[in-house]
Structure 1
Amino acid sequence: MGVKFAMTGGREAWVRVTLTAFGVGLGVALLLLTTAIPSALANRNDRGRDRDDWMFSGEVMERSDRTLILGRVDTTFHDQDIRGRLLQPEGDRAPLPPGVEQFPAAGDMVVSPALGRMLKSSDGTLLRERLPYRVTGTIADVGLIDPHELSYYAGTKDLNATSESAGGVDRIDAFGSTSPPERLDPILLLLVLIVFVVLLMPVGVFIAAAVRFGGERRDRRLAALRLIGADGRMTRRIAAGEALAGALLGLLLGAGFFLMGRQLVGMVSVFGMSVYPGDLTPTPALVVLVALAVPAAAVAVTLFALRGVVIEPLGVVRAARPPRRRLWWRLLLPLAGLAMLYPMIGQGRDNGQFNEYLVVGGVVLLLVGVTALLPWLVEAVVARLNSGGVSWQLAVRRLQLSSGTAARMVNGIAVAVAGAIALQMLFAGVDDDYTKASANDLTRAQMSLDVPEKVTAAEAVQALSRTRGVTDTTTLSTASLGNGRDEPEQYASVTVGDCAALREAAKLPSCSDGDVFAVRNAPYDEYTEQLSKAGASLYIDPSSGSDEKGREIAWTVPKDIKRADAHKDPQGNERGGFLFTPGALPKGAASAASATVYLSLDASVPEAREFVRNAAAKLDPLAHPQTWSATEQSNRFTSIRTGLFVGATCVLILIGASLLVSQLEQLRERKKLLSSLVAFGTRRRTLSLSVLWQTAIPIALGLILATAVGLSLGTVLLKMTNTPVGVDWASVLSMTGIGAGVVVLVTALSLPPLIRLMRPDGLRTE
């Protein structure tokens, strides 16, 4: 009977069911999205592992008709990473990369759809200069981690795999990684767990609030049923049936929203993260759980809401003063949550994994405690609010009559803000563990290039010096030196450069071409003092294997060798060993040294880095300039933080949409009251302000409570990770400000419907 009333009860019933279904549907869609995230990330990782081409053996594979020489030519364009590979098959059975149908010919390339669009765009002019290949095909989805990935495979005939090219060029006979994926360390696992709990809790709160839309009108209708013979239990079952109808319709809408959103997700990249629509497939067990839990929760919430309502044949008893809410049992929830988290305080990273069940249970109880404490807090505060203007008194009186409804509207905001504050504290606390200050001195250089084997240092310097945006270059070459031709017992490093370059690596007394210096007091330098004795016979680039014998260059330590003190170079390294000016280097030794060019850039040239990358690519496609930054952050930590931002964005959208629906439902139920006040001469401005106060007072109390609970939870989480407790007040204020901003936006959007409702003709009835 309840289902029938919901579906055939006329316009009012349809409006009520639609509002409920829309609110539930938004929550269900986000639940399905969240449950699909693990499988989406797993699919991304699987595709990445299937195309893995790294060799970790340190040895060069023998050539066969099954082998492929592969060169890694990754680059960056406008802060976007581009994955590039050069392919040179050595036989008919060489392995094809996933997503590629046939090997591109030399000078041709196959590209990802996103890279193809970029190359065709007007912004891709500089990138086209860097990738001088003819596009002949497209990489299929199976070979890409996401639809917005920038990737290409180019054909070549110029690669040679040797032990010296390891890391840049490899010979492989298969794609894919067989090693098990690396496990998350305990703190990163804790972050993942907390992120999921914090994102899912507001969704559950909103679903619970959505099934209570239209509660007052429903109760008046149930009183009419009592008048024609229904008893109390029957009315509650009928109410449960109505809620069940709205929840079931919400499930269908939620599935539809999810399917529509899934088709659109491939077109959007949020914080550099995107997935294919097919990746967003929730596991069947989680889908069944959502399908059963949402209707069951709708029935349970409805029966729970009716426990304090007396529905009699002549009306609903609401005029009597309701009993004051009790505080003691509401405090048990957060205290129980703290008790579950307490055993893991001080555990940190070094004492094993955190207990996942205790972590999830404790955080859930703490956040549920917000929803239990907020109604009591709103009731206790508004009971003491009396004097004020007309709009204030209208708002306060309404809150005093229905503080529970007001608290339900902002419960989701409070839970989301409390969880976000705790997460921000945890992220800020452990940030130093995963973010390290770079040793690079950005005042001396902003980029560097390790000169490829096929290019001389002079050629690299000449090309880079002429590049637009480069103001200065410094070149330091490095080799090794020892007291024997093969497997020396004592060894040291050799640094080669002109006097200006050597002064970037050590403190020199005086310098002219032809000088040699022995560096004193350098860290990790054991043998320079013994090796620098005049007349000692040493060998530059002594070989460490039989296949490299004969490359060593004999050199005798001169009597006039000078001394220098260690000094950090632009990359923050203190070089020890010997410093050679070019004139002092023995004949043939220059080819044994590997050069690095440090580049100073003109900040006024916006594309300076792109010009440098293009110049390096013309020298050798394998040349990969490094862009320096002040900090370096763990990729996994960055990914988790990105996931939080993506999820928080979705939750904020849900919060705003659900709050708007709830607000409109409240206004609809008070249509006659608003019309009566306008008919008696109440100004529309006064009523609009009263609606604003009715929203502002509960949200202010909710944000205060959320801040307190969030700070408490954040403190406990930091103590669990054995991290010093500190409050990132900027994040706290930003989270509360975002929560308040959502409410202000929802209030502003509800004003046009409010103005339409404030008309005397709203008193008409049939």
Structure 2
Amino acid sequence: MNVRQWSRDLGLGVRFAFTGGREGWVRMVLTAVGVGLGVTLLLLTTALPNVLAARDERGAARQDLTYGAPVPARSDHTVLVGMTDSEWHGKGIRGRLLQPEGARAPLPPGVDHFPKKGEMVVSPALKELLASDGAKLLRERIPDRITGTIGETGLVGSQELAYYAGADTLVATKNSSRVVRLTAFGDRHPTTERADPVLILMTLVVFVALLTPVAVFIAAAVRFGGERRDRRLAALRLVGSDSRMTRRIAAGEALAGALLGLAVGTVFFLIGRQVAGSVEVLGESVFPSYLDPSPALAALVAVAVPAAAVLVTLLAMRGVVVEPLGVVRTAKQARRRLWWRLLLPLAGLGMLYPMIGNGRSHGDFNQYLVIGGVLLLLVGVTALLPWLVEAVVARLGAGGLSWQLAVRRLQLSSGTAARMVNGIAVAVAGAIALQMLFAGVESQYTKDTGRDPQRASMEIDLSDRSRVAVAAREFARTEGVQASVAISTGGLGDKRHDPATTSGITVGDCTALRELAHLPSCRDGDVFVLPGKDDDAALRAFRRPGRHGFLDPTYSEGEPGKEVPWTIPAGLRHATARKDALQESSGLLLTPSALPAKAWPTLYHQVYIRLDLSVPDADEHVRTAAARVDRLANAWHWSMTEQSTKYTSLRTGLFVGAVCVLALIGASLLVSQLEQLRERRKLLSSLVAFGTRRRTLGLSVLWQTAVPIALGLLLAMAVGLTLGAVLLKMTDTAVAVDWSSVLALTGAGAVVVLAVTLLSLPPLVRLMRPEGLRTE
């Protein structure tokens, strides 16, 4: 290969692209916009590793949960931190109370001073929310005066709701989970756990499935205006260029569009980077500084896009004969062969087959085989679709005039029609496979909580063990509360220190105890025994009337001196557990007056709330009431199931990526449709000049879009279901198809194409004018 000749010819093509007059510039702009949209999404993807790393780094730097680590001694370098997390209309609020214990107490990241009692520093998003008209309840819940804002280094996202408030009454104990003493913020003892092979597999498939349509769109964008370009190249043959030189010049024109597309995509990315700091998608937000692409990946995009433009053009030109007197393109082509097109998906299946049945117990999945197999299956859609469109449209026949115009156009240029819908077909195939995979393994990342939301809507865990009576009264008069019961729990041991036998105790009034067990009768002062499934002879003997024990016994790592002696009273009666008990209980059930007054601080207190769902913001009223009673109270909704945070984060990332890809699909299809209409301007004008109705031409354009997209979506369903079934087999999960979701995804792809087609109708009407016959 002569490098100098290649460079000269490619450079000549670049010059032609920029000096080709109005037609050349229009084609350049269309190509640049199409490529630029794809480059924007590619650059966004190259920034994802930095986004994830930055969020993890920010979260680790402000870590203040000790997870049972020893409580450090009070010193000039310690600070007490109280957890006051809350929620506002489903969005989490990270709240902390700060109480420095010395002049050198550590500050959390993003905070330059400790707020005093009654003061707080807040995130910009929370400051804006608190100033809004609809946040009255939230202002009552967080009444402190704002004295500053949290810097970017102390937040994981631009739209995060967070605050640090001052305090002076916090107390840290070894068993406290709501108040901790720290010598420094940050995770000092990070734990590493074995990565879940299934989650890694899902992550790889998500990236491949989202990026493959982008690559397909870029490959299609560099071929915009191909017919006009090929006719212009015929003139070069008249002045002596051979066919190879002509192809290289054509590749140079495509290279120019790709390079301009890189610049346009970079500008789009920089604009989007700034906008990203002010938006939130599915509860996730980022700072613009997070969106710094990896230099190596960005360089790969900068090299791969122009190289792909040259390669795609050279391959496309192999089917075109450019002669001095014209372009031989419209002659009847040989039928497309099917056998080699089937090799791509079959090779993909062959790469994935060795990993079938792996699951979690047979080691990690081979990342290269996963990426290669999924990529070949999805790319196989782009290889099979032109054959499928050609085979079907060749058999289409009689119909209305608009149908005949559309069918004839498809028969003459089935490859162009297939190329237009390749991207949407690949996207839908990947989406169907991902939906099957996520739905299939969802149960593996979802566990039953054992809680029935019909029995209680919310639970409030109080940190102040002396405030249970106050809480009961407060919630009884809170708007939106239908019913509430307070239940306290603790332990009884046979010895003061390190007891050999222990029994749980549950304290509540008769109404509360009846939410846990069936009682023969009840009045204040009664004590009941509730047998457990695992009770042994020693435990049954210990729970007899007259036996002495100690409430809140001390263990070797606990703080001694707080044990309360107590004797099990006479008149102990038996109770039987309810199947729908508010909480799983066994041991002794006590009414309030049966417990010594000095034992109340040793108990843990929960309040169960049943909401009146007809009251607007009932749960927000409850959270505000809980904060008035106990600033450190933890209020949360009951649900029957809960999901792994890693699984939900990956699913959220998939949704965010799917939104971006759908936006790219719509924009790129619109650009492609406009380019196709521009190519056919003279033909449309000629038909109108000869009396063809505009309505007929409009319907023909709709048919030309509908037929390829219908075939593309059918092929996408077949490939997507196949890939989804293989991925489920690889995770050792039963194959199941949620047809409603599959049809919804397919319909979403059709809606995008339909919307693009409707948006292209106004330009179509403008093109259908006799003035379009004018030429220079």
TM superposition score normalised by structure 1: 0.97
Letter in structure 1 aligned against 2:294: T
| Counterpart residue type for residue 717 of structure 2 | T
Q: Counterpart in 2 of 1:126?
A: 137
2:55 pairs with one of 44, 57, 72: 44
Bigger shift: residues 522-531 or 303-312: 522-531
CA distance in 2, matches of 1:83, 1:557: 43
Alpha-carbon deviation of 1:514? Answer: 2.7
* 1:625 aligned counterpart, secondary structure: strand
Residue 497 of structure 1 corresponds to: 508
CA drift at 1:330: 0.5
Read off the aligned partner of 1:562 and give its amino acid letter. R
Q: Name the CA shift for 1:183/1:115 in 2 (closer, same or farther; >3 Å).
A: farther
Residue 167 of structure 1 aligns with an amino acid whose one-letter code is: S
The worse-fitting range, judged by mean Cα deviation, of 668-677 and 360-369 is: 668-677
Q: 1:384 to 1:602 in 2, by over 3 A?
A: same
CA distance in 2, matches of 1:75, 1:570: 26
- Alignment partner of 1:295 is 2:300: no
- Out of 244, 255, 271, the residue aligned to residue 255 of structure 2 is 244
1:522–1:575 Cα contact (<8 Å) kept = no
Distance 1:160 1:560, change over 3 A: closer
SS of the equivalent of 1:163 reads coil
1:213 aligns with 2:224: yes
Matches within 5 A, 1:287-366: 287-366=298-377
1:637 lines up with 2:640 in the alignment: no
User: What whole-Å deviation, never above 9, does each CA across 1:271-326 have from its counterpart, x for those lacking one?
Assistant: 11111111101111111111111111101000100101111111111242101110
Q: Quote the Cα distance in structure 2 between the aligned partners of 1:360 and 1:524.
A: 54
- 1:688 and 1:754 in contact (8 A); partners too: yes
Write out per-residue CA displacement over residues 342-361 of structure 1, whole angstroms, 9 at most, x where no aligned residue. 11111112222111111111
1:479 aligns with 2:490: yes
Deviation at 1:673, TM superposition (A): 0.8
Q: Cα–Cα, structure 1 residues 203 and 526, in superposed 2: closer, same or farther, change >3 Å?
A: farther
- 2:5 match: none
CA positional deviation for 1:183:
5.2
Q: Is 2:181 the partner of 1:176?
A: no
Q: Quote the offset at 1:152 in angstroms.
A: 0.7
Shift of residue 608, structure 1, vs aligned partner: 1.5
Residues 114-513 of structure 1: matches in 2 within 5 Å?
114-164=125-175, 166-178=176-188, 179-180=190-191, 182=193, 184-453=195-464, 455-513=466-524
Contact 2:517/2:581 (<8 A) preserved:
no
Which residue is 1:703 aligned to?
713
Q: How big is the shift at 1:559?
A: 4.8
**Displacement, 1:476?**
1.5
Following the alignment from structure 1 to structure 2, what is the Cα–Cα distance between the partners of residues 191 and 469? 42
Could you tell which deviates more after superposition, 175-184 or 29-38?
175-184
Which among 756, 759, 764 is matched to residue 766 of structure 2? Answer: 756
* Alignment partner of 2:608 out of 598, 604, 611: 598
Aligned residue for 2:542?
531
Post-superposition CA distance 1:482-523 (Å, at most 9, x none): 222222211110111222211111122332333222223435
**Matched residue, 2:104:** 93
The residue that corresponds to 1:651 in the other structure is 661
Q: Deviations over 1:439-491 (max 9, x none)?
A: 22222211122232353321111111121111211122111112222222111
d(CA) in 2 for partners of 1:488, 1:480: 11
Alpha-carbon separation, structure 1, partners of 2:772 and 2:468:
85
Summarize deviations over 1:350-409 as a string: whole Å, max 9, x none. 222111111111000000000000000000000000111111111111111110000000
Give 1:719-758 correspondences, 5 Å limit.
719-758=729-768
2-structure distance, mates of 1:650, 1:425: 21
CA contact (8 A) 1:445 1:570 kept: no
| Shift in alpha-carbon separation, 1:183–1:647, aligned structure 2, 3 A | farther
CA spacing shift, 1:501–1:525, aligned 2, 3 Å:
farther
Q: Deviations over 1:511-538 (max 9, x none)?
A: 2333222223435777542223343333
Matched residues in 2 for 1:500 and 1:56: separation? 35
How big is each residue's C-alpha offset from its partner over 1:606-659, in whole Å with a ceiling of 9 and x where there is no partner?
Answer: 122111111111122111222222331111111111111111111111111111
Is contact 2:467–2:629 with CA below 8 Å preserved after alignment? no
Residues 74-103 of structure 1 deviation map (CA, whole Å, 9 limit, x = unaligned): 111121111111111111211111111111
Are 1:426 and 1:717, in contact at CA under 8 Å, matched by a contact in 2? Answer: yes
Deviation at 1:140, TM superposition (A): 0.7
Residue ranges of structure 1 left out of the alignment (5+ in a row): none
Q: Distance in 2 between matches of 1:528 and 1:511?
A: 24
Deviates more, 1:538-547 or 1:216-225: 538-547
User: 2:699 matched to 1:689?
Assistant: yes
- Find the aligned partners of 1:531 and 1:296 in 2 and give their Cα distance: 81
- The aligned residue for residue 533 of structure 2 is 522
CA distance in 1, matches of 2:114, 2:219: 56
Residue 48 of structure 1: CA displacement?
0.8
Instruction: Determine what percentage of the aligned residue pairs are the same residue.
Output: 64
* Greater shift in the superposed pair: 482-491 or 562-571: 562-571
Residue 616 of structure 1 aligns to a residue whose secondary structure is helix
Residue 319 to residue 443, structure 1, CA distance change in 2 (3 Å) = closer
For 2:580 and 2:741, the matched residues in 1 are separated by 37
Which SS does the other structure have where 1:154 is aligned? strand
Q: Is the 8 A contact 2:64 2:187 kept in 1?
A: yes
Partner SS state of residue 340, structure 2 = helix
Offset of residue 693 of structure 1: 0.4
Counterpart of 1:30?
41
Deviations 1:84-142 (A, max 9, x none): 11111111211111111111122111111001111111122111111121111111101
RMSD: 1.6
What amino acid is aligned across from residue 724 of structure 2 in structure 1? G
Alpha-carbon separation, structure 1, partners of 2:168 and 2:631: 12
> Residues 49 and 294 of structure 2 are in contact (CA less than 8 Å); yes or no, is this contact kept in structure 1?
no
Provide the TM-score with structure 2 as the length reference: 0.96
* Local SS of the residue matching 2:575: strand
Q: Is 1:13 the equivalent of 2:24?
A: yes
In the alignment, the residues of structure 1 paired with residue 243 and residue 411 of structure 2 have an alpha-carbon distance, to the nearest angstrom, of 27
